[in-house]
Structures are given as structure tokens and as C-alpha cells.
Chains A and B, each alone.
Chain A
Amino acid sequence: GQQLNQSPQSMFIQEGEDVSMNCTSSSIFNTWLWYKQDPGEGPVLLIALYKAGELTSNGRLTAQFGITRKDSFLNISASIPSDVGIYFCAGHSGGSNYKLTFGKGTLLTVNP
């Protein structure tokens, strides 16, 4: 089946630093999604990417859909303590496939 490799597994950064994480796939996706999960909560969608090469921002977050359609990147600028959480990438191959494939997550810790 499809697999997503998400890296890094965890990050410890200082408040104000920029963060970058990425996902790579063994197969092509038509949609890339980035979710954030706060402790004790369900994942919440941050950014959705629907076109190869697309670069989309949501406040301090920027995500890109790789040209090969097999990777995606999420950047967080000027991190703040509330950025703490687990960030997941997810891919969807489109068509009549109703399944999302999730990466294993990146645990972000921000030191004030």
C-alpha cells in the first residue's frame, strides 16, 4: 500500500525560530494535506494543496505541493509556544479512492 515518510520525527526549537518538515511518498498523490493535533484533541486541517507546484500560506504557515507529486513541505515561521503539537501530512490519490494516507507525524516542542 501507499506509504508516507514524514521527517523529522520530532523537533525541539526556541521560540522565534523557523521550522521545516516534509513528507515523501512512494507513489503520486493528487492532494496533500497538513494537519495539526493538539494534546488530547483530534487533528485539525491547516493547509490543503491540490496542484503540483502549489505554494499556499495560512498565517505563519506555508506549505508546498512538490513538482513530482510525491512530496510536500510545511514551514512555520517565527514559532510561538502555541505551535506545540503533532503535525501530520496526509495524501489522497484522488478519483474513487476514498482513503487518506497519513504520515507518522512530527512532534514539535517550542521552548519559550
Chain B
Amino acid sequence: NAGVTQTPKFQVLKTGQSMTLQCAQDMNHEYMSWYRQDPGMGLRLIHYSVGAGITDQGEVPNGYNVSRSTTEDFPLRLLSAAPSQTSVYFCASSWVKTGSMNTEAFFGQGTRLTVV
């Protein structure tokens, strides 16, 4: 049982390059989300999805796009990378029940991104 799988684990980008961070879960969770973790800032929500075809913005969405075409996958796209996007990115998933997320979220191992 793989849980939440993120790829790649490490990535270096040049300013202005684009890339997609992949996230896949095999638990049939409806809710998936992306966080970024910066020193002294904790985890901040970028985007989230409560099901295929449904996405919404979190606390820090600027510079990132997401889509949810399947239940399993929730990729995060950086269209034009900036040094301010240097961070560790975590994908998380959980069930949705009765109109609210199940708060017991499962996290992936993270993607460490450096933008130079």
C-alpha cells in the first residue's frame, strides 16, 4: 500500500522555467491538497480539491495551478518558477464525509524544490 506518492523528491529549476510536481494516492481519498513548508512558517495551504473536477485556492495560491482529472492524481504546476517558490512541497489526502473533510490527512514525503 503506497499511500501518498510524490515525485520528484528533489528538483532544481532556473527562474522562469515551468514544471509539474506529481502527487498520487491509492487510498481512494476524495480530498487532496498541496502545502508548502518554509523555515519558520509551518505548512501553508496552496490549493486543494474535494473531488475530480473540483479545485479551490488555499492560503498561498499565486504562481501555482492545479487540476484534478482523476481521484488518484493531483498535480501542482509552476508556470514560471521564481526564487520565492524555493520550498519543500507536500501533498496530502484524506476522506470527505458529510460535507466536510476527514481531518486525518495522510502526507507524502515531500518534494524539495530550489529555484535559482
Give A contacts to B, CB under 8 Å.
1, 4, 6, 9, 31, 33, 40-45, 48, 88, 90, 92, 94-100, 102-105
Contacts and interface: CB of A to CB of B under 8 A. Distances in A.
Contact of A94 (B56, B100, B107, B109): B100
B107 A96 contact: no
Given A6-B42, A40-B109, A41-B109, 16 more contacts: A40-B110, A42-B90, A42-B107, A42-B109, A44-B107, A45-B105, A88-B42, A90-B43, A92-B101, A96-B100, A98-B31, A98-B50, A100-B105, A102-B35, A102-B42, A102-B43
Contacts of B108: 42
Given A42-B90, A98-B48, A88 B104 contact: no
Interface of B: 4, 31, 35, 40-45, 48, 50, 56, 58-59, 90, 92, 96, 99-101, 103-110
B109 A92 contact: no
Nearest to B48: A98
Contacts, number: 63
A95 B59 CA distance: 18
A75 to B, nearest CB: 21
Nearest to B31: A98
Looking at chain B's contact residues, the main secondary structure is strand
A31 B107 CA distance: 18
A98 B110 contact: no
Given A40-B109, A42-B107, A44-B107, A99 B58 contact: yes
Nearest to A95: B100
Contacts of A96: 99-100
14 contacts: A6-B42, A9-B40, A31-B103, A42-B90, A44-B107, A45-B104, A48-B104, A95-B99, A97-B100, A98-B100, A99-B48, A100-B101, A100-B105, A102-B44
Ordered nearest first, which 10 A-B pairs have the shortest CB separation?
A42-B107, A104-B42, A102-B43, A102-B42, A98-B101, A92-B103, A31-B103, A43-B107, A42-B109, A42-B90
A105 to B, nearest CB: 5
Given A42-B109, A92-B103, A99 B42 contact: no
